Chains A and B, each alone.
Chain A
Amino acid sequence: MSATPLRPGAEAIAEKGWLAAHKWLILRRISQIGILLLFLVGPWFKLWIVKGNLNYSYTLDFLPLADPFLLLQSVLTGEMPEKLALIGVVVVLLLYLLVGGRTYCSWVCPVNLVTDFANWLRARLGLKGGAHLSRMTRYWILGMTLLVALQTGTIAWEMVNPVSMLHRGLFFGLGAAWAVILAVFLFDLFVMRHGWCGHLCPVGAFYSLIGKLSVMRVKLPRRDACNDCMDCFAVCPEQQVIRPALKGINGTPPVILEENCTNCGRCIDVCSKGVFTFGSRFGNSGK
């Protein structure tokens, strides 16, 4: 046993090398930043590959993509979207049904870059504890935003939504949105670990509902090899999702079916025993 506690993933780096132990993290950052760049080359270089923002975008004057949560709020206010927005919703729903609902959170959403940084800094500064809140809170907030839309006839959540505020702000002018993003960052850093993405954000909560049925999952084909190093727990933004599948509690098959797994793949990176891998939700009952 080593005298000083190792940082999560140290064993994996020693076992697989740095690059392999950061594979999914790097790919994820490429995805997040790449999507931002796709949107940014428009306003920067007048190269219009994608127009719009995460609420609704139009790619190459061909592919519409629309946020289903937002469109649901809009419909609740009593307005019907046009054809392109409806197609966009269907495309997005199908996409995330395939790759995993909250894959949106870890591979697309720009706020994840902010909260991941807060969490990294929190670990580095050794900040422990903080406020506690049920992870169910986000579903209450989700319900509340829908209710307010129904009641006020306006998409009220969009007035304060940090996700779209940041994404839209980067391409259309940030204004005071920087203060909102800073507040989310400081909240995650000092007040609550994984506070925003893991407890409060109704956008993520909505995508998790899609994730209940989505195909792509983190599987644990070698869960017998687990040596209880706890590295996966240390890096996982939704720690509660790992244990049932890893320990086979109540006969849980070796696949993470919990809807709040964000498919970030960090557990795959940091496991030195190769317990985790990406795969499909189907055909996992045997092991």
Chain B
Amino acid sequence: MDKDSKPQGSARRQFLADTARMACGVGLLGLGLGLYARHATALPPAAIRPPGALPETEFSGACIRCGLCVRDCPYDILHLAKPEEPMSTGTPYFIARQAPCEMCEDIPCVKACPTGALDHSLTDINKSRMGLAVLVDQETCLNFLGLRCDICYRVCPVIDKAITLEPQTNTRTGKHTLFIPVVHSSDCTGCGKCEKACPTEIAAIKVFPLYMAKGQLSAHYRLGWVEKEKAGGSLVAPDIEHQYNLPEGMKYEHGKGLSSVPPSEAPPAEPVVPKAFQGGKL
């Protein structure tokens, strides 16, 4: 028989067939797993990572799902993701609306982390950037409606820096002031206290992971006033002084507004009405 006469060839054939079977079968599994893992890098908007967490793409490789951060959180705000939750199984998160980060000064969760998933170089909790608060709904924010709710501003652990109240005219009443809460990414830690405290049925201010909350200018953009300050002076030929058409005896200065001109400084009287409108002599 042909098969018996070539035992080596048959064995090699069998080996190749077995190898191909394994490689293809397990390869298919690996493909499925790899595609599934892609979802791990897309953190759902309501889930906020603990302080010092690396960017999501690195975090899902560095976090070993041990839960030590959960255990060492004195306020028990952290959870480990369950398999059915839309994020990487076993990784830590908190939901700001349920229980925000209390911003412990000694940051025990970071200290507990046995890997670099929570960055150990973070020692000042005010420098953590767990996420960024965004006033998502101006239609339901009570301050936008003209009330002095101010709760998000009051509960903010970085009060007057992370959230400020900016006065604005209430155009509805025409005589009141709106105090608009404005979040500043330079100081917001993303702790979520504002979202937790927002008194509306669904929070008007929410904390989102940074990748969702933050925009970015194009790399080639330059802010003229910043560049001017850096250079110590105007970078182009000085502006021509703007000419204003003003009533006689008035002047306008930038930053000061209208003022009357003392008679001595008054420019020589010129025809106020443009020539074209002066009409002909009758």
Tell me which of B58, B64, B80, B89 contacts A81 (CB under 8 A): B64
Interface hits, A54-90 → B, CB 8 Å = 55-58, 64, 66-67, 70-71, 74, 77-82, 84-85, 88
**B47 within 8 Å of A (CB atoms):** no
Give Cα A66–Cα B114 distance, bound, in whole angstroms: 9
Give Cα A135–Cα B114 distance, bound, in whole angstroms: 34
Give Cα A258–Cα B248 distance, bound, in whole angstroms: 105
**A177 within 8 Å of B (CB atoms):** yes
Asked if residues B80 and A172 are in contact (CB atoms below 8 Å), the reply is: yes
Q: CB-CB contacts of B123-156 with A at 8 A, as 1s and 0s? A: 0000000000000000000000000000000000
Tell me which of A77, A165, A175 contacts B85 (CB under 8 A): A175
CB proximity of A170 to chain B, nearest CB, Å: 11
**B70 within 8 Å of A (CB atoms):** yes
CB proximity of A82 to chain B, nearest CB, Å: 6
Give Cα A109–Cα B116 distance, bound, in whole angstroms: 26
**A268 within 8 Å of B (CB atoms):** no
**Interface-centre pick from A67, A74, A171 (highest chain B CB count, 10 A):** A74
**B277 within 8 Å of A (CB atoms):** no
Q: In chain B, what residue has the closest Cβ to A172?
A: B80
**A153 within 8 Å of B (CB atoms):** yes
**A17 within 8 Å of B (CB atoms):** no
Q: In chain A, what residue has the closest Cβ to B118?
A: A82
Asked if residues B66 and A152 are in contact (CB atoms below 8 Å), the reply is: no
Asked if residues B40 and A55 are in contact (CB atoms below 8 Å), the reply is: no
**A149 within 8 Å of B (CB atoms):** yes
**B88 within 8 Å of A (CB atoms):** yes
**B170 within 8 Å of A (CB atoms):** no
Q: In chain B, what residue has the closest Cβ to A54?
A: B66
Which of B26-34, B95-103, B231-239 contacts its partner?
B26-34
* A residues contacting the other copy or chain, number (CB 8 A): 57
**Interface-centre pick from A42, A151, A159 (highest chain B CB count, 10 A):** A159
**A10 within 8 Å of B (CB atoms):** no
CB proximity of B223 to chain A, nearest CB, Å: 35
Asked if residues B88 and A148 are in contact (CB atoms below 8 Å), the reply is: no
Give Cα A159–Cα B52 distance, bound, in whole angstroms: 22
On whether A154 and B88 interact (CB within 8 A), knowing A53-B67, A55-B66, A74-B62, the answer reads: yes
Contacts of B71 in A (CB 8 A): 42, 48, 51-52
Contacts of A35 in B (CB 8 A): none
Give Cα A58–Cα B108 distance, bound, in whole angstroms: 14
Give the secondary structure class of B's interface.
helix
CB proximity of A202 to chain B, nearest CB, Å: 10
Asked if residues B115 and A165 are in contact (CB atoms below 8 Å), the reply is: no
Q: In chain A, what residue has the closest Cβ to B26?
A: A140
Tell me which of B27, B33, B57 contacts A156 (CB under 8 A): B33
CB proximity of B107 to chain A, nearest CB, Å: 14
Interface hits, B23-68 → A, CB 8 Å = 23, 25-27, 29-30, 33-34, 36-38, 40-41, 57-58, 60-68
**A41 within 8 Å of B (CB atoms):** no
On whether A52 and B66 interact (CB within 8 A), knowing A134-B22, A175-B85, the answer reads: yes
On whether A77 and B62 interact (CB within 8 A), knowing A82-B120, A148-B30, A168-B67, the answer reads: yes
**B84 within 8 Å of A (CB atoms):** yes
Contacts of A143 in B (CB 8 A): 26
**B82 within 8 Å of A (CB atoms):** yes
**A157 within 8 Å of B (CB atoms):** yes
CB proximity of B79 to chain A, nearest CB, Å: 7
Q: In chain A, what residue has the closest Cβ to B81?
A: A175
Asked if residues A52 and B68 are in contact (CB atoms below 8 Å), the reply is: yes
On whether A79 and B62 interact (CB within 8 A), knowing A148-B37, A154-B40, the answer reads: yes
Asked if residues A74 and B33 are in contact (CB atoms below 8 Å), the reply is: no
CB proximity of B41 to chain A, nearest CB, Å: 6
**A125 within 8 Å of B (CB atoms):** no
Q: CB-CB contacts of B194-211 with A at 8 A, as 1s and 0s? A: 000000000000000000
Interface hits, A146-197 → B, CB 8 Å = 147-149, 151-160, 164-165, 168-169, 171-177, 180
On A, residues with C-beta under 8 Å from B are: 42, 48, 51-53, 55-58, 64, 66-67, 70-71, 74, 77-82, 84-85, 88, 134, 136-137, 140-141, 143-145, 147-149, 151-160, 164-165, 168-169, 171-177, 180
